[in-house]
Structure 1
Amino acid sequence: MTGRHRIQGIPVTDIAEQFGTPLYIYDGEELEHGYERIRSRLHPSVDILYSLKANPNLSVCSLLGGLGAGAEVSSAAELAVARAAGVSPADTIFLGPGKSEEEVATALTAGIHSLICESYGELDLINKIAGEMGITAPVALRVNPQSAAKGAGLRMGGKPRQFGIDEGILMADPGLTARFPSVRLMGVHAYLGTRILSSDVVAENTAQILDMAQRLTDRLQFPLETVDFGGGLGVAYFQGEEDLDVDALTGQLNPIVEAFRAQHPRTRVLMELGRFLTATAGLYVTRVRYVKESMGQHFAVTDGGTNHHMAAVGIGSFAKRNFPMSILNRAQEPTEQLWQVTGPLCTPNDTLGKNVALSEVRVGDLIGVHRSGAYGPTASPTRFLSHGYPAEVLVHRGTPLLVHERESVSDILSRQPVHHELATTRTNGG
């Protein structure tokens, strides 16, 4: 055996033997390092919020919350996870374009820092619920800016979107504040794009958002207690990409924040980070069940696929590009062939990697998809073909901890009531 991939000194083969495959493994040391490398360099007045949508696993959230991260949530369930992880409501914001009445009421009851409002209809709803509760709701406006983000993998503003209220509409409505007596407008939020790998782009976007926040509050006449300039920091997945240089990034961001703070010393400044904190800490592990050749191509059919890792299939991309992959139990062997790495699903879309350069793949090998700590199982159709949710393991201080149990057949059936009257026997001609 030529080398085995290890996490904190533990062979991944041992973890797979203990917990089975397919599974996700998160490296707690890498999570800590990822948080500290940005926290130690970023302007101290910027509060970091962890975006739970990237990876809402309770243990991952607990670790990041324990390091000092607040929470950005987008559902009542995510809010419950953040609370269970020990994140203070005062360090929690709730956003999303389609909040329900129950979610608004739950967030207000919890006493979170702010609801991020994304439409006039939502303002009406928040005002109504807060009035019925006899409170004043803290609300930050999510703004869809006039300008678009540059260099973003996915642009979230600057064009027609379900997210936020158009900047132009707000600027033309100076009487907005007075129409919602149970709402306390107190901040501005904007999120221009995601998976940005240029520090120049992040700095330019941040400066634009801070300037826009000042313009809006001047126009609408409410105090700028909070400004959330999003984040959108990316990680390198594909060939030719490079990770952000954190020193260069903070070297550009910090003077912008410092200048803003000089004018607004009491304004709380927030930055949301999701993928940037968790992606590099995650490894998706599958075991090869079969190898075959078809029309000159080599296939490795594994026990896990895009039902657990939809991000790896490239849905939404014009071109399929592979996440970094390797054979974990023979990590040092030279690559020899191009392989199609596929899962167990009955669809040709279940392809984790196309033309992946690997050594000769054998039945029983463990294939790992690296940088898989963000947008993994919760962003995937885990019930497709009823294979269920994979196991998740967090390696903490040298100890592998099961942090999400594998979903069993009985788990799947337990959510589906049995109606015996449906199981009738049809007779011929009846």
Structure 2
Amino acid sequence: MTQTDALSIPLPEDDQAIQWLWDVKTPGYVFDPSIVLARYRRLRELLDTGLIVSLKANSNLELLIRCGHGFVDGVELASLGELDLAVGRIAATKYVNNPSMDETFMRAALASRCVFIIDSLGQAERLAGLMGKQPAPQTVLRLNAAELMPGRRREPADHFGMSPQEALLAAAALSRADVPVIGLHSFAGSHQFRVDDSGGDSADLAHALAAFAADAAGATGAPIEFLNCGGGFGERFHDDEAAFAAYRERLAPLRRRFRLVHESGRGIFAGAGLFATRVRAVKTLGGRAIAVCDGGLSHNFLLARTESAIKKYARPRLLRRQPTADGAATAPAQYVGSTCSRADVIGWQPEAIAAPAVGDLLIFEQCGAYHPSYSVSGFLSLGAAGAYIHQSGASE
């Protein structure tokens, strides 16, 4: 695999090869658009379908400017702010999708010729009520995965989408307003892509959507043209080519009847981002070295693992400002942020090492998706982390 085909930012073992990281103002993120494009192309190839990009995973403007042209099948937008970023910069189809979409958001999406993903009957009726002289938008009905496949999903039901019964009512309401329903959509959740023939895997969800298409077409009087089968792809989706081969085979019968698409944010952006933070203070406590950093949960909430029942902390790459002295004492290292929250733990080095020193740099990999956008920066008025673009290879 060449450098430009890499699916994560290269971090060679030789510290001299990554000296450029010392120039990053911390705490900060580093994004590589060439990696974003390589990951998009690879996932699209493995699926052999269209691939919509969820901008909620990473809505950094500079990154979007550099790689948005490559998102040939469109982008999914979950807020008015994301729509503002995409308009004028994304030529491909723009899909808007949010259960709380109000009239202001809807009017902006209508003006921008977006496709609406309808989450509820009330949302369908609200959109129908806005129809006037402007051209009607295309719409897609979102089906709740658990309701679509009762008793067959492993994960708990979420609050997104509609039951099949409500979706038919929404289809009828849109049809009465001459708003075309062109497709169906469902999403089972993050990290839920699997092919195990369990009766609730990703291929079964796609087939359940296809089975419902006839009912939806009956409610509107027009055929369903495409299915958005969601995604749930992990950071390292490319490690399991056999699963994708089995998935493609099981979707083959649907290709004769529908245009198939998937969507992803995590799979596309994850490996294209690093998080960098500097050590500001060091102490020893309870047999471990504690490195207090200038970046923590206020800048990278996901590293703190506060939403995980079992906290498996990331192990960062440690770049030392100075070589360690011979015979230096060693201990496991815990990496924490600078807030007064006991949850502000962002990394762990279980093996005994010489203690980090003030000024050393920590690099966390796989931080390109949600890490920058899912963090609350208001605590202690610390401000948000910076963002930098690094091009490891030529993008297309």
Structure 2 length normalisation: TM-score? 0.83
| CA shift in 2, pair 1:356/1:98, >3 Å | farther
Within the alignment, does 1:391 sit opposite 2:386 as a pair? yes
In structure 1, how many angstroms separate the alpha carbons of the residues matched to 2:305 and 2:382? 21
Code of the residue aligned with 1:127 in structure 2: it is A
**Is the partner of 1:291 in helix, strand or coil?**
strand
Q: Which moved more, 1:140-149 or 1:276-285?
A: 140-149
1:61-118 CA distance string (max 9 Å, x none):
334422234201101111121224x322x51111011012111011111112x10111
* Residue 110 of structure 1: aligned partner: 112
Query: Given that residues 124 and 180 in structure 1 are in contact (C-alpha distance below 8 angstroms), is that contact kept between their aligned partners in structure 2?
Result: no
In structure 1, how many angstroms separate the alpha carbons of the residues matched to 2:170 and 2:75? 31
Deviation, 1:343, is 0.6
Deviation, 1:225, is 2.3
Point out where structure 1 has 5 or more consecutive residues left out of the alignment.
237-242, 400-430
Of 34, 42, 46, which residue of structure 2 is paired with 1:41?
46
Query: Given that residues 120 and 167 in structure 2 are in contact (C-alpha distance below 8 angstroms), is that contact kept between their aligned partners in structure 1?
Result: no
Deviation, 1:338, is 1.9
* Residue 30 of structure 1: aligned partner: 35
Within the alignment, does 1:349 sit opposite 2:352 as a pair? no
**Is the partner of 1:165 in helix, strand or coil?**
coil
Code of the residue aligned with 1:100 in structure 2: it is D
Within the alignment, does 1:363 sit opposite 2:358 as a pair? yes
In structure 1, how many angstroms separate the alpha carbons of the residues matched to 2:67 and 2:383? 27
Higher relative contact order (CA 8 A, sep 6+): 2
* Residue 422 of structure 1: aligned partner: none
| Residues 151-300 of structure 1 mapped to structure 2, 5 A cutoff | 155=155, 159=157, 161-170=158-167, 173=169, 176-177=172-173, 180-196=176-192, 198-200=194-196, 201-218=201-218, 221-235=221-235, 243-264=237-258, 268-300=259-291
In structure 1, how many angstroms separate the alpha carbons of the residues matched to 2:221 and 2:93? 25
**Is the partner of 2:229 in helix, strand or coil?**
strand
| CA shift in 2, pair 1:74/1:325, >3 Å | same
Deviation, 1:304, is 0.3
Point out where structure 2 has 5 or more consecutive residues left out of the alignment.
1-9
Deviation, 1:369, is 1.4
| Superposition misfits of 4+ residues, deviation over 6 angstroms | 7-10, 148-152
* Residue 371 of structure 2: aligned partner: 376
| CA shift in 2, pair 1:279/1:179, >3 Å | closer
Deviation, 1:374, is 0.7
Query: Given that residues 199 and 244 in structure 1 are in contact (C-alpha distance below 8 angstroms), is that contact kept between their aligned partners in structure 2?
Result: no
| CA shift in 2, pair 1:395/1:179, >3 Å | closer
1:198-225 CA distance string (max 9 Å, x none):
3443333333333333444346544212
| CA shift in 2, pair 1:213/1:341, >3 Å | farther
Within the alignment, does 1:15 sit opposite 2:21 as a pair? yes
Deviation, 1:32, is 2.7
Structure 1 length normalisation: TM-score? 0.77
Of 98, 112, 119, which residue of structure 1 is paired with 2:100?
98
* Residue 415 of structure 1: aligned partner: none
Within the alignment, does 1:320 sit opposite 2:311 as a pair? yes
Deviation, 1:351, is 0.9
In structure 2, how many angstroms separate the alpha carbons of the residues matched to 1:10 and 1:62? 30
1:132-176 CA distance string (max 9 Å, x none):
x44323211111132269888xx5xx73x43111124335x4982
In structure 1, how many angstroms separate the alpha carbons of the residues matched to 2:127 and 2:170? 19
1:359-407 CA distance string (max 9 Å, x none):
32122111111110111222101122111121111212569xxxxxxxx
Cα root mean square deviation, aligned: 3.2
| CA shift in 2, pair 1:174/1:294, >3 Å | closer
Query: Given that residues 136 and 182 in structure 1 are in contact (C-alpha distance below 8 angstroms), is that contact kept between their aligned partners in structure 2?
Result: yes
| CA shift in 2, pair 1:174/1:197, >3 Å | closer
Query: Sequence identity of aligned pairs in percent?
Result: 26
